[in-house]
Structure 1
Amino acid sequence: MNSMDNEIVKDLNELLRGCHMGASTFKEYLVEAQSEKLRETLKHSLDIFQKHETELTSRINSYGEDAADSTGIMAVLSEMTEKIKTMMADSDEEILNQSIKAMDMGLKACHDFIDKHKQVPEELLFVIHDLEADYKKVYRDLTELKLNNY
């Protein structure tokens, strides 16, 4: 594998770790959420994370590499911080605020990948754009819930 492919795989694994972290955090939020609309949105978000975990894993494996099956050491520390925030998220409003921030981070990661890797195969770019579109939809859904007082 050439150095460009190594960088692509490394960054795909970072996106995958983000999906793992998002799924873990949103599962915690689902337990705490009171509003049925918020719970439905969180469940839908979990489906999206699972879809993209599968797709990113497949793409990484297509390079002959192993996909990250956890969040990694730095992400574990970040996840611990998120778990503390989750414990502090004692209201639907706080869950919404933290969820919106998480989706914003995911969108930034997608943009960073696209900016960094301008010469990737078209089918991989499609996967990243699909991830970005799904993250935007979740972001909009969460923002709409917040604006409408869930």
Structure 2
Amino acid sequence: MDENLIKVLNSHLQGVIMGENEMIKLKEKVKDYRLKVLIDNTLLTIEEHKKVILNEIEELNGKAVKEEGIFGKLVEIFNSIKEMAIDNDKQILEKAIKGTEMGFKAILDLLIKESNFHEHLEKSLIKISDMYSGHIKEMQEYLITIN
């Protein structure tokens, strides 16, 4: 069992969980049907992202975290305060784009920093980053159309 790799994966998983929680909060505020669909699609990718990391931790005989951790909780509280001012779909969409970009960048950072992943995990993470990229593009295109 590679303790260091499990620690890195759990840290990454905490970020994924935090991102998922934030995206769910944003979805609860959405009025526009198309935006709900875009956020739902992103949530499906986040779920796949979580599953890939959880499976890898299991394969390494490690124990996966179940929540975002203390730092993540503090960030969530801070974001909740900031999100009180968000009151329209355009602002929600902008926040969703930013959050999805963070997930995309987190995967790239993980792949750059950790070179000892097996090929299957690397391919899965690249596939998920491509999915995030697609969601970002769709959301950006939709952002142009909303007022």
| TM-score (normalizing by structure 1) | 0.89
What is the match of residue 3 of structure 2? Answer: 6
Q: Counterparts in 2 of 1:53-92, with a 5 A limit?
A: 53-92=50-89
**Residue 109 (structure 1) aligned with residue 106 (structure 2):** yes
What is the match of residue 138 of structure 2? Answer: 141
Match of 1:18 among 11, 15, 18: 15
In 1, Cα distance between the equivalents of 2:137 and 2:58? 31
Structure 2 SS opposite 1:68: coil
Structure 1 SS opposite 2:84: helix
In 2, Cα distance between the equivalents of 1:44 and 1:143? 14
Checking the alignment, whether the CA contact within 8 Å between 1:93 and 1:146 is kept in structure 2 is: yes
Identity %: 25
Deviation by residue 1:97-117 (Cα, 9 ceiling, x = unmatched) = 111111121122111111111
What is the match of residue 24 of structure 2? Answer: 27
In 2, Cα distance between the equivalents of 1:62 and 1:140? 33
Specify every segment of 5 or more residues in structure 1 that has no aligned partner in the other structure, as ranges: none
Checking the alignment, whether the CA contact within 8 Å between 1:45 and 1:138 is kept in structure 2 is: yes
| TM-score (normalizing by structure 2) | 0.90
Runs of 4+ in 1 over 6 A off after TM superposition: none
What is the match of residue 131 of structure 1? Answer: 128
What is the match of residue 90 of structure 2? Answer: 93
Code of the aligned partner of 2:86: A
In 1, Cα distance between the equivalents of 2:134 and 2:8? 23
The structure-2 alpha-carbon separation of the partners of 1:50 and 1:143, relative to structure 1 and needing over 3 Å to count, comes to same
Structure 2 SS opposite 1:65: coil
Stretch deviating more after TM superposition (133-142 or 34-43):
133-142
Stretch deviating more after TM superposition (80-89 or 96-105):
80-89
The structure-2 alpha-carbon separation of the partners of 1:138 and 1:85, relative to structure 1 and needing over 3 Å to count, comes to farther
The structure-2 alpha-carbon separation of the partners of 1:53 and 1:88, relative to structure 1 and needing over 3 Å to count, comes to same
Code of the aligned partner of 1:77: L
Specify every segment of 5 or more residues in structure 2 that has no aligned partner in the other structure, as ranges: none
Structure 1 SS opposite 2:34: helix
Checking the alignment, whether the CA contact within 8 Å between 1:41 and 1:142 is kept in structure 2 is: yes
Give RMSD over aligned pairs: 1.6
The structure-2 alpha-carbon separation of the partners of 1:14 and 1:144, relative to structure 1 and needing over 3 Å to count, comes to farther
